[in-house]
Amino acid sequence: MEKESVNQKLDLVHEMISMARNRVTETGFHFLLWGVLVMMASISQYLMLRAGMGNETNLVWLGISIIGVPVGVIYEKRRSAKEGASSSFDRIYSQLWLGFGLALFLTIFVSIMHKVNPTPFILLLVGLATFVSGAIIRFVPLVAGAFVFWLAAGLSPLFDGVDYLLIYAAVIFLGYVIPGIMLAKKSKLHV
């Protein structure tokens, strides 16, 4: 009888360790932050181009990086200090997005060097990182958002010119902002 009780306790400890190991603390903040910034940049560039401005409109994309990166880093530092230790899944999740950021930078750089529109390639990368994120945290709306990004990347040859910026903003809304809102609501329920 005593041996059975010890085994039950060990099973409970093992289960708790497994749950902690697989926990990823995702609040949707970054999906909302980058979703809103990218939508604003897309719409701003669209309006500037329609107003007759030229290549200087590309600076809006630099602007969102100057805003988004520090805001995201500060948010994560504060969250880490508040929540304490992170799980191995948190670290994997973090490394996924770090790798995405590096791949994104190189994709944009190479596309500019070859005078190729980087948007379809960006959508493919965003789709991949969003898909893996959804799989890691077991959140179907992110997985669905990834498919929206991939569909838009596949259809991108059909859309050319300035109007693609509005489609890009809509795709970001569907793939990042809506899942981000849902994730934020879900995380508040589990606090």
From the list 137, 117, 123, the residue with the least C-alpha distance to 174 is 123
Ranges of the chain with pLDDT below 70: 1-4, 9-25, 85, 190-191
pLDDT at 42: 96
For residue 41, being part of any structural domain is answered with yes
CB 12 within 8 A of CB 20: no
For residue 21, being part of any structural domain is answered with no
pLDDT at 3: 66
Residue with tokens 């849902």: 182
pLDDT at 82: 81
Residue with tokens 């039950």: 8
What amino acid is encoded at 45 in this protein? Answer: Q
Domain count, the chain: 1
For residue 12, being part of any structural domain is answered with no
For residue 7, being part of any structural domain is answered with no
pLDDT at 20: 46
pLDDT at 30: 94
Domain that holds residue 68: 29-189
